[in-house]
Copies of this chain bind each other. A is one copy, B any other.
Amino acid sequence: MYKKIDEKIIKELICIVGEENLIADRDKMVDYSHDELALKEIRKLPEIVIKPKNEKEVSEAIKLCSKETIPLTPRGAGTGLCGGCVPVYGGIVMSFDNMNRIIDIDQDNLMVTLEAGVNLVDLYKAIGKKGLFFPPHPGDESATVGGLIATNAGGARAVKYGVVRDFVKGIEVVLPDGEIVNIGGKFMKNSSGYSLLHLLVGSEGTLGIITKAVLNLLVPPQVMYTLVVPYNNLTDAIRTVPLLIQNKIRPVAVEFMEQGPVKITEDLLQKKWPCQEGSAYLMIIVDAASEEEIMKSLETIGQICLDNNAIDVFVADNKQKQENVLNIRSQMYEALKNYMLEILDVTVPRAEIAAFVTDVHRVEEEFKTWLPTYGHAADGNVHTHIMKYKCEKGSWTEIEDWQEKYPLIRRKIHLLGKKYHGIVSGEHGIGLVKKEYLNLFVQERQIEMMRQIKKLFDPHNILNPGKIFDL
């Protein structure tokens, strides 16, 4: 079906990107065979890795792939969690390491124009210097702009500020036949024909290669505080969430987590979580225009929590304390990842999370396993980890029959997502490993429309083939 890469094609690729921007050594290509997903079974070596320097080189490379029918898989920083950048059919992996320029920070229009390979660390730093703010904050700051847009990444701050989709105002895209198109621009409103921009956002590199983006920025809030609220059980914690949202205060983030993963992360980082009591926590981030205002917000939020069985309310009121808490929250995944099989991304309506998570813990009991579950409580985006090992009193032991249990648990949790009117992925995307569950949540007709759109953009199926759905 696909052509293998031979010497002639390598020569052509060298002509396009230069010898120094091509990797053919198998050992050096191992890093390009997987993303952050733990499952080793899905890894696949590319035949070649190339690192174009600009959209013209991207265009030349994709034209070659179209002509020769060679699969081409674009790859950001590989921080994905569903195998989205694994080159399942071999071929070429295209890395954006050489396309990481921030082209323009436009303070009058509050827009940044940048290349797809810029990562969040560099973006936050560059705009921070100009007093500007890009609200989306997915877990891993090494993620690149191209990947964030391709998966419509979310993160904790989506509660108040929205997801990546809400901030993308323009993109430069290279289509599978090599044509470079510019969609949108530095304007806040656009009702000018079908939104190809929004079709490309979240299309996981299967319709076109995003080479540049224009992102809308905000002015950062004056003050931001973080609360940690311990509860005796997770249900009480999560039940508080709709009450917080219905309040006049719109929190930046409301995260939920349980004691187990928090303790493991404390040990890993050698940092202390602000409270030792309670078995479940809410972590609430609030921002405001002034100290007085935020104090009032914290008081209101604290009172709502205490009225709903919170044990206590801890305020991380300085930068150090806040970073400590946020660091433990964001490293929770790191602490678990070597012992787990997969992190799920089921998203349910906010009011259904308590029931959903209660049912997840029933599955945990039923299978005598450990399913550490935490996530973005206020937007219903729940991350359940299917584990291979469990942690008891600081030591890890292998879970009995985890191989047999894994697919069964996986299916049960997705069925629960369906039962509670949710969706398979809130922010990670479908990639390779969630394809089998897409049609549990999305009608076959819709998937068929997606397939036809794919064929329309990419008739030879060269662009990140094997992802989202089977053709």
Interfacial residues, chain A to chain B (CB-CB below 8 A): 106-111, 151-154, 158-159, 162-163, 165-166, 175, 179, 181-196, 198-199, 201-203, 207, 218-219, 221-222, 242, 245-250, 288-290, 292-293, 296-297, 345, 347-351, 376, 378-381, 421-430, 438, 441-443, 445-447, 449-450, 452-454, 456-457, 468-469
Contact = CB atoms under 8 A, between A and B. Distances in A.
Contacts of A293: 289-290, 292-293
A348 B190 CA distance: 10
Most buried by B among A183, A198, A428, A450: A198
A184 B424 CA distance: 11
Nearest to A241: B108
Nearest to A379: B188
A172 to B, nearest CB: 11
Given A187-B380, A190-B425, 18 more contacts: A107-B246, A108-B351, A109-B351, A152-B195, A163-B189, A175-B445, A185-B422, A187-B347, A187-B421, A188-B350, A188-B378, A188-B380, A188-B381, A191-B425, A192-B423, A193-B442, A293-B293, A453-B456
Given A110-B245, A446-B181, A425 B187 contact: no
A191 B154 contact: yes
Contacts of A182: 443
A375 to B, nearest CB: 10
A434 B388 CA distance: 59
B191 A426 contact: yes
B450 A189 contact: no
Contacts of A201: 195, 198
Contact of A199 (B111, B187, B192, B198): B198
Contacts of A107: 242, 246
Contact of A248 (B162, B175, B191, B219): B219
Contacts of A456: 449, 452-453, 456
A207 B292 CA distance: 50
A183 B446 contact: yes
Contacts of A421: 185-187
A67 to B, nearest CB: 19
Contacts of A428: 191
A186 B77 CA distance: 31
Contacts of A292: 292-293
B188 A109 contact: no
A167 B442 CA distance: 20
A7 B222 CA distance: 68
B242 A108 contact: yes
Contacts of A381: 188-189
Contacts of A348: 187
A450 B193 contact: yes
A219 B247 contact: yes
A83 to B, nearest CB: 14
Given A242-B108, A242-B109, A202 B196 contact: no
B193 A468 contact: yes
Contact of A111 (B187, B249, B349, B430): B349
A188 B248 contact: no
A106 B199 contact: no
A152 to B, nearest CB: 5
A321 to B, nearest CB: 23
Nearest to A424: B192
A109 to B, nearest CB: 5
Contact of A191 (B106, B242, B429): B429
